[in-house]
Amino acid sequence: MQLARVTGTVVASTKVAGLEGVKLLVIQPLDRALRPAGKPVVAADAVHMAGPGELVYFVASREAAQALEETFVPVDHAIVGIVDAVTELPGAGDGA
């Protein structure tokens, strides 16, 4: 899993069977100092409560679909939690 910031929403009224009702959000992956890292991706919202601006963590690959009610669906990124806090040890550096 990695950290990301929700930056937008995606509306797609025509989707493959199984993805009806799945909320899609644009997320910007972050490094662990919460700086943008890499390109934004579209992720399914498995917690049903994430929204723009929120700090979340997401899972990629086959495990993303496992987070949804319907697990045999073509999804490659899913938000699985909303982050309350990231605590780092003293002296851990900024991950750069």
Q: Which residues of this chain interact with other proteins, rule CB under 8 A?
A: 1-3, 31-32, 46-47, 49, 57, 59-67, 71, 78, 80-89, 92-93, 95-96
Cβ closer to other proteins: 14 or 96?
A: 96
Cβ closer to other proteins: 15 or 61?
A: 61
Sign (positive or negative) of CA dihedral 2, 50, 54, 16: positive
Of the candidates 1, 88, 89, the one whose C-alpha atom is nearest the C-alpha of residue 47 is 1
The CB-of-53 to other proteins minimum distance in angstroms stands at: 15
The CA distances from residue 74 to 21, 26, 29, 62, 79, in Å, are 14, 17, 20, 9, 15
Cβ closer to other proteins: 13 or 35?
A: 35
Pairing of strands 41-45, 24-29: antiparallel
The CB-of-40 to other proteins minimum distance in angstroms stands at: 18
